[in-house]
Each structure stands twice: as C-alpha cells, then as structure tokens.
Amino acid sequence: MEVQRIMLRIDYLEFWATKHCNLNCKGCSSCSPIQEEWYLNSETIKKDLNRLKTLQIMIDNINILGGEPLLHPHIDNLFCIVKQAFPNCNLGLLTNGLLLRNMGNDFWKSCVKNKVTLKITCFPVFSGQDIEAIVHLLEQRGVKYHLTRKVRFNKILMENNPSKIDEIIKACGCNHAYNLYNGYVSRCTVPMITEKFNSKFGTQLITEGKLNIYDATAEKILDFLSKPNNSCLNCSAHPQKVVWEKSEKNPSKEDWLIG
C-alpha cells in the first residue's frame, strides 16, 4: 500500500489563473504577449483538481501562475479551491508583483488562511525602493514570500530542431513543474502554447504533449508525465540566454524562437 502511495505522487503542479499579463515580457513561457484576455473558471479548476484527487494522486506543491494571476478577480477564491482539494499541499502564487500594492483585504486574508507563499519575480521595471516597499508590505501582512530578481530569459523554442532528444532533455530547465489546463496535463507549458503560437505566427511547432485526465488512470497520467514526448522536439538542446525586455506592441516569433 505504501509503495502505491509513493508512486501516485506529483511533486509540482502549476495552472494558469490568467493567460494575459500586465508586463508582457519577450519570450514569456506562457506566451502572454500573444494571449487574449483569459480568466480561469473556478468550476473548471475545481473539477480538474477533484479528478486528480479522485484518482488518489497526491500533489506536494501547487503553483498558481499566469499571465499575471493577480489580474484574476477571484484569486482569493482560487486559493480556497486548491486547499479544499489538496489541504496539505504547499500552495504558491507566481507573480511579477506589480499589483501587490493594489490588493484588498480579502486577498491578504486568503493568503494567510491558505498559507500561500507569494513567489515574486522582480523584473528590471522595479527599482530597489519598489522592492523595499513590497517587502515592507509583505511583512506587514504576515504572508510567506520569496523574491527572485530576473534580468535574463531563456529562449528555448525551435522549428525543425536538429537536436537529439537526449541532449534536449539534458538541457531542459522546466524542473518537472507539470501544467494542468482545461482537463489536460502536460510536462510543462510548451504543449499548452504551441497551438496558439502556430495560429499566431504560421509556424509548425509540434502540438502534441497533452493528456486528457478524464480518459486516463492515475498510473497512465504519472507515466505520461514522467517521460519526454514529441513536444520536447520543440526545444533546443542549446537554449539562448537573452536580456529581459518588454515585448513590442506587435510581438514577433523571434521573441521565442531560436534561429
């Protein structure tokens, strides 16, 4: 019995609360600069999380991300939904922090009640003073937080990729943060953005790499997530480091693609 419980475990699971963002970085892994305004439906995520729970899959860490998740009008309720399904998970919110100073009491109360860790990526739009003010606010509100400064991005996508799969997997930096979106899971955000990317730019990225959680057993889901698949052929074995920049009004495919 104990062996089975260890097997049916996901370390990290992420889901989008929004796809759009208020910062729009070039090369964003959620493709926010080309996404329409989109908000996660509470009933959909409740149903999807309950499906995983019914399958007796344990989840250690759940991160809510975007786009910018603080744009979601019911973000405080999303915290409760996650904790109702998985009360013992470590719940995190990945945010660029720009809206933190505008958040109301309900948000802060829900963060404390649901033991949410705010994982804030500080991009170069923040001055040192901005960061100090945010830290002061977080301390005042008594929430757990983690701040990271980010000045570079990794470009990873490539069409007609010459890299071999074992080299690609060696270079993969997605840290097994699996993605859940609309009844499907994937190993990362790449399979969740390729259709949008192709339709926007007329590219031929491989659109495989998602599994319907309503058609699969727990074992099949975990087996699927544990192995590379054809979607990985969208990623170069030689990611390019690029300096962080805001996206232009009309983003180009080169903001994401190598070569």
- CB nearer to ligand SF4: pick between 85 and 211: 211
Please pick, from the candidates 40, 59, 78, 168, the single residue that binds ligand SF4 as defined by CB under 6 A.
Answer: 168
CB 135 within 8 A of CB 143: no
H or E element at residue 144: strand 144-149
Taking CB under 6 A as the criterion, the residue among 35, 63, 96, 194 binding ligand SF4 is 96
CA atoms of 111 and 79, how far apart (whole Å):
7
CA-CA distances (angstroms) from residue 24 to 28, 62, 146?
Answer: 7, 23, 21
**Exposed e or buried b per residue across 199-226, where buried means at least 16 C-beta atoms within 10 angstroms of its C-beta:** eebeeebbbebbbebeebebeebbebbe
Taking the complex as a whole, the smallest distance from the CB of residue 165 to ligand SF4 amounts, in Å, to 9
Nearer to ligand SF4, 59 or 235 (CB): 235
Q: Which of 13, 32, 192, 201 binds ligand SF4 (CB under 6 A)?
A: 32
Residue 219: enclosing H or E segment and its boundaries? helix 218-226
Given the DSSP bridges, would you call strands 58-65 and 116-122 parallel, antiparallel or unpaired?
Answer: unpaired
Shortest reach from residue 1's CB to ligand SF4, in Å: 31
Touching ligand SF4, residues 187-206 (CB under 6 A): 187-188, 190
Of 21-29, 53-61, 77-85, 103-111, which part binds ligand SF4 (CB under 6 A)? 21-29
Residue 242 bridge partners (DSSP): 153
Applying CB under 6 A, does 92 fall inside the site for ligand SF4?
Answer: no
The residue among 115 and 253 lying less far from ligand SF4, judged by its C-beta, is 253
Residues near ligand SF4 (CB under 6 A) are 21, 23-25, 28, 30, 32, 66-68, 96, 168, 172, 174, 187-188, 190, 228, 231-232, 234-235
